[in-house]
Structure 1
Amino acid sequence: TGTVLATVEVAGAAASPPAPVPPQPSPRDLRRETVAATKTFTFGVGMGMAMGAGGMRFTIDGREYDPDRTDHTVRVGTVEEWTLVNDSPMEHSLHLHVWPMQLLRTGGREVTEIAWQDVVNIPSRNRVTVRVAFDDYPGRTVYHCHILDHEDLGMMGVIEAR
């Protein structure tokens, strides 16, 4: 009742089982490290002169993306604590290129486990706190909402590590 797409023939001696995965070091916990700076990022939605999405404006700190502007500067080798505030009626999600984030608090709740994330969800009308270790990679990159419509309509910024 089906169509045969391929036939696989196995020959030869069975392979040896793989070696066990070696023990891994405990993940780094930035809650124990000195914070060089604290910053707040506010994610907002409003009406504007934009052509897409019925004139919706998606902003971080009240500004739409400008690739020629540096929105934040960080020092390589430091740890920063960021509070991500979502004043809008929509969820947003922050993706920071190059550096993962350790989730500390979400929705007023302390995160007790060591939770490293590449993308952090920021619920509607809520706030999230993360720490970022800027250990390596000097230069410019971006952070943005990981919902593509929001990013495409301005919810992105430039960060430079020096």
Structure 2
Amino acid sequence: MSNGAGGSSSSSSARVPEGVFGTVHRMWAAEGARALWRGLGSSLWLVSNPVIQFFAYDWLKALRWSSNDISTLEAFFLGALAKALATVLTFPLQVAQSRLRLAPAGDALRPELGGMVACLRAVYKEKGLRGLYFGIFPKLLQSVSQAAFMFAFYEKVHWAIRRLSRQGVRKLAGRAQRLR
């Protein structure tokens, strides 16, 4: 019997909490502890996304013609390009992660449950390259725009910190000379 809030009500059983803890409890009870760790391998591989993003941003920044401070507009576009590259390179891992998390436990007939590599092979075999990149355009729109603003803001904050630091060093040097 449903209580209208997505949970079940029963006077003889303990009340299962809502939210994250309720979800964990229900998964554990229905599918066992392994269900909580599905997709972990692909999640660990996905740490390569920000690594690629920051490497590409620094590399693109170094390729610029000028060695002056980077402008906000340059940071915006270089950050967008770096994130686009990182997203395109790692998107199949996100597809595998989603499939692994949504797959029902105990379905031995599904080869993608053998882990991330098996999942990627199964998607490629079933749908080809298009299957590995299905849904990339909305993801690019979301992540590239977010990264572009983040890098533009990062460069402004970095510039302000460097400026304040230089001013602070000058003040300290002036005070040190007066003390002598």
Question: TM-score, normalised on structure 2?
Answer: 0.25
Question: TM-score, normalised on structure 1?
Answer: 0.27
Q: Comparing both structures, which one devotes a greater share of its residues to strand?
A: 1
Which of these two proteins has the greater Rg computed from alpha carbons?
2
Q: Comparing both structures, which one devotes a greater share of its residues to helix?
A: 2
